[in-house]
Amino acid sequence: MSLEAVARKDFEDAVRSRWLLALSAFFVLLVSAVAYIVRPAGGGTFSSNAMLGLVNGSLVTTLVPLIALVIAYGAVVGERESGSLKLLLSLPHSRAEVVFGKVVGRTGAMAVPVVVGFLLPAFVLAIGPLQFDVGSYVGYTLLVVFLAAVFVAIAVGFSAAVPSQRLAVAGAVAVYFVFVPLWQILQLPLQFFLMGGTPGWLPLTGNEVLRLVRLLNPTGSFKIISGEYLAGTLLAAGEVGPEAAGQWATNMEIAAIAMLVAWLLVPPLLGLWRFELADL
């Protein structure tokens, strides 16, 4: 009940954030605009999965991490600097309940704009001819909430580990730029290095190294899972195409799921470890 109380209070605080409201409105408008633009002209039909595919590799993996990091970077350290954290810990809450309660609360706050962001385009698409797959649409929305939870967990973990909001802001900015706009650029030296052949001391092939680097990025793992989900081939080894190719794809999907779960759990645990040692 203590974790639930922390999560409920944190959710209520987060949904009142002006940053959350502004960025959420921007996200909703952009997704709705894409849905409106891609509507087929008279007589044509359009699949809801096709629209989701358009926003999956651009808007979702660009804006959702940004919104999540913005609303979560100060979750713990903000209260630490204001002094309200001492009051919170004077109640029957452990530091672990504070950290994970804030992960749950901020994820709940992120779920609101994500759900609204995909609910409104559903009405926009309904204006014109549409092949609407309700199951896929709802499932994809839940996947986006999962992506948001991952970046919330990263931000809360960092917020719990550092002593000032300045460091928390710097961490959030660094995480966003490394994982979103700069990831491909940062891979270029590695790609050039591997073009000359895989060194003998490396236990992996060049392609395996590049796939691992792709998986290490939460947005890269999300794109693998969401892309296969929208195509209807998620965890469908051997059902589509050659069995060997299907098994390879399934292994990548399982690795991507495991990587996202790791990002969801490890940063808050590391942040908690530092938070437990901190003198407040």
What pLDDT is attached to residue 245?
Answer: 46
- Better-predicted residue by pLDDT, 142 or 28: 142
Nearest to 21 by CA among 104, 116, 120: 116
- Better-predicted residue by pLDDT, 19 or 154: 154
What pLDDT is attached to residue 244?
Answer: 42
Query: Residue 128 is part of which domain span?
Result: 3-277
When mean pLDDT is compared across 109-118, 218-227, 243-252, the lowest value belongs to 243-252
Compute the average pLDDT of residues 131-137: 77
Q: Answer yes or no: is pLDDT of 68 > 90.
A: yes
Of the pLDDT bands very low, low, confident and very high (cuts 50, 70, 90), residue 205 is: low
Q: Answer yes or no: is pLDDT of 157 > 60.
A: yes
205 vs 185: CA distance, rounded Å: 21
- Better-predicted residue by pLDDT, 47 or 100: 100
Provide the mean pLDDT of the chain.
Answer: 83
Burial environment of residue 116 by CB neighbours within 10 A (0 to 12, 13 to 18, 19 or more): middle
> Is the pTM above the cut of 0.85?
yes
Tell me the residue ranges of DSSP E strands in the chain. Answer: none
Q: Answer yes or no: is pLDDT of 56 > 50.
A: yes
Q: Answer yes or no: is pLDDT of 32 > 60.
A: yes
Neighbours of 33 (CB within 10 A): 13
Domain count, the chain: 1
Of the pLDDT bands very low, low, confident and very high (cuts 50, 70, 90), residue 126 is: low
268 vs 27: CA distance, rounded Å: 26
What is the total residue count of the chain? Answer: 280
Q: Answer yes or no: is pLDDT of 240 > 60.
A: no
What pLDDT is attached to residue 40?
Answer: 63
Output the CA torsion 102→106→109→111 (10° steps).
-120
